[in-house]
C-alpha cells in the first residue's frame, strides 16, 4: 500500500499495453516504422502506419500535467543510438598547427580529439643542448662574468681563472686560487664558485666536496677590498634584491641551501670575513694549527652579508657569535676548537691530507641516508619542533624509494655479511 501523501505525484502504472509498446519501441530502434509521435499527423483516418487503430494523444491529468508513462513512451521513441560504455571526457583540443607539428587526429571515433605525438629529438633550426651551453659560456666570457676554459683532464672538464676544480674518484676539491692576495674573493671568483657548486651538486658521481685555499698562508682573507672599492653602486634597489640571490657575482654561492652532499672545509690559514663565511658553508671544518678566524669586515664598515649572521650562531651559539660579530677580534685555531667553530686541529702540513682521509671514509658509506639526514637538518632550521619532526618523518620515506633500499643493509646485518651497495646507497 502506498503511504505517501496525496500531494506527492505518483507515476502512472504500466497497463496491459506495456508489452506491446515495448515491442513497438524495439522495432522503432531497428528501423521499422513506428506509431506517430505526439503532434504528428495520422497517415490514414483512424489508422496508423501499420494499419492498426490509431491511439489518440494522451490527455492531461487532473493536475494539469501529462501522465509520466506517456511522456516516457515519447522519449523512448526519440531515443538516440546507444552510447559506448564508460565515461567520456570532453575532448581536449590542442592549438592548430601545420601538419607534422607534433599533433594528429586520433583515428577511429570521437572526431576532433587530438593526442600529442612524440616530438623530434631536436627541433629544426634550434641548437642542441651542448651548443646552447657553449654559446652561453661564450656570451658570459665576453661580459667578463665567467671566464671558463676547457681543462685538460677529461671530456666536459672545466677549469677556472680564480679557482681550481679537481675530482678524483668521488671527491671534488675546490681550491680558492689567488694566493698573491691571500685568496681574497672578488666578483669574478664569486661567479666561478657559483658555477662550481652547481657542478658538484648536479654530478651524480661526486659524493663529497673539499674546499681549501691555495698557498701556505691563507684559506681566504675575505672580500677583495680593491673590488669593493670599485663597487660604488648596485643599481635600483628592487633589482638588487633579486640579483643578490640570482646573480653569479654577488656571493650567491654562500646562499646555497640546496646541496645535501657532505662538504668539508680544510682551513689552511687566514679565515676572515667572507673567507669565514665560506668555511661556514661546510658541514665539517678541519683547521691547520696556524689558522686564524675573525669577522674583520668590522674594521672597514662592511656588512656581513654572505651568511655570517645566519650560520655562525648555529655553529657556536648566540652569545659567542654576537661577541665575534660585534668586536671583530681574531681567534686562533685552539680557541676556534674550544668554542666549536672547527671540528679538528691538525698540523699545518696535514690539513688537506686529513680532509681527504675523512672524505674517502664518507664515500665508503651508503650515500642515500647521509643526504636525507643533511637535508632534514637544513630544512629544519628555524622551524618549530613539530615541523622539524614532521620533516624527519617524511624523510623516512626515502629509504623505501631508493634503488639500494634499507632492506639491503638490514638484511646484510641479519645475515652477518657485509652489504654490497650497487648504487652507493642511492
Give the Cα separation of 113 and 90 in Å (integer). 9
Give the Cα separation of 279 and 274 in Å (integer). 9
Q: Do 424 and 405 form a contact (C-beta atoms < 8 A)?
A: no
Annotated active-site residue 344? The verdict is: no
Angle at 349 (CA atoms; ends 345, 352), nearest 5 degrees: 70
Cα dihedral 266, 271, 274, 276, rounded to 10, equals 70
Annotated active-site residue 121? The verdict is: no
Give the Cα separation of 362 and 412 in Å (integer). 20
Give the Cα separation of 391 and 377 in Å (integer). 9
Give whole-number Cα distances, 149 to 157, 199, 207, 289, in Å.
9, 15, 24, 35
3-state secondary structure of 271: strand
Q: Residues 192, 248, 292, 297: which is the catalytic one?
A: 297
Sort strands 149-150 and 158-159 into parallel, antiparallel or unpaired. antiparallel
What is the number of other CB atoms lying within 10 angstroms of the CB of residue 267?
32
Q: Residues 192, 248, 277, 292: which is the catalytic one?
A: 277
Which residues are catalytic, by number?
Answer: 277, 297
Amino acid at each position: 500500500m502506498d503511504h505517501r501523501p496525496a500531494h506527492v505525484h505518483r507515476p502512472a502504472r504500466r497497463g496491459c499495453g506495456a508489452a506491446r509498446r515495448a515491442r513497438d519501441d524495439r522495432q522503432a530502434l531497428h528501423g521499422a516504422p513506428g506509431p506517430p509521435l505526439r503532434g504528428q499527423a495520422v497517415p490514414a483516418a483512424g489508422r496508423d502506419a501499420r494499419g492498426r487503430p490509431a491511439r489518440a494523444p494522451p490527455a492531461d491529468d487532473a493536475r494539469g500535467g501529462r501522465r509520466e508513462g506517456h511522456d516516457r513512451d515519447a522519449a523512448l521513441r526519440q531515443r538516440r543510438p546507444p552510447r559506448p560504455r564508460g565515461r567520456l571526457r570532453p575532448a581536449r583540443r590542442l592549438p592548430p598547427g601545420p601538419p607534422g607539428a607534433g599533433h594528429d587526429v586520433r583515428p577511429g571515433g570521437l572526431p576532433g580529439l587530438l593526442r600529442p605525438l612524440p616530438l623530434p629529438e631536436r627541433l629544426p633550426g634550434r641548437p642542441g643542448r651542448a651548443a646552447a651551453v657553449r654559446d652561453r659560456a661564450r656570451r658570459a666570457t665576453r661580459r667578463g662574468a665567467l671566464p671558463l676554459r676547457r681543462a685538460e683532464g677529461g671530456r666536459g672538464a672545466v677549469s677556472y681563472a680564480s679557482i681550481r676544480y679537481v675530482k678524483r674518484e668521488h671527491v671534488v676539491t675546490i681550491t680558492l686560487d689567488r694566493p698573491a692576495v691571500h685568496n681574497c674573493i672578488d666578483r669574478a671568483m664569486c661567479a666561478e664558485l657559483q658555477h662550481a657548486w652547481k657542478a658538484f651538486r648536479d654530478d651524480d658521481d661526486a659524493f663529497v666536496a673539499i674546499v681549501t685555499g691555495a698557498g701556505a698562508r691563507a684559506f681566504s682573507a675575505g672580500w677583495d677590498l680593491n673590488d669593493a672599492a670599485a663597487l660604488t653602486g648596485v643599481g635600483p634597489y628592487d633589482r638588487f634584491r633579486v640579483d643578490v640571490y640570482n646573480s653569479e657575482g654577488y656571493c650567491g654561492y654562500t646562499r646555497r641551501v640546496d646541496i645535501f652532499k657532505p662538504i668539508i672545509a680544510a682551513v689552511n690559514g687566514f679565515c676572515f670575513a667572507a673567507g669565514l663565511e665560506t668555511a661556514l658553508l661546510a658541514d665539517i671544518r678541519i683547521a691547520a694549527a696556524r689558522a686564524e678566524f675573525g669577522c674583520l669586515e668590522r674594521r672597514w664598515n662592511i656588512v656581513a652579508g654572505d651568511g655570517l649572521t645566519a650560520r655562525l650562531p648555529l655553529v657556536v651559539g648566540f652569545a659567542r657569535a654576537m661577541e665575534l660579530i660585534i668586536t671583530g677580534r681574531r681567534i686562533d685555531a685552539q680557541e676556534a676548537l674550544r668554542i666549536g667553530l672547527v671540528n679538528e686541529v691538525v698540523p699545518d702540513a696535514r690539513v688537506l691530507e686529513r680532509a681527504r682521509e675523512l672524505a674517502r671514509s664518507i664515500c665508503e658509506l651508503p650515500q642515500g641516508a647521509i643526504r636525507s639526514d643533511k637535508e632534514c637538518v637544513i630544512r629544519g632550521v628555524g622551524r618549530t619542533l613539530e615541523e622539524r619532526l614532521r620533516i624527519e618523518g617524511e624523510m623516512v620515506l626515502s629509504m623505501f624509494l631508493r634503488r639500494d633500499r634499507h632492506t639491503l643493509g638490514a638484511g646484510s646485518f641479519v645475515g652477518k655479511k657485509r652489504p654490497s651497495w650497487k648504487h652507493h646507497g642511492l
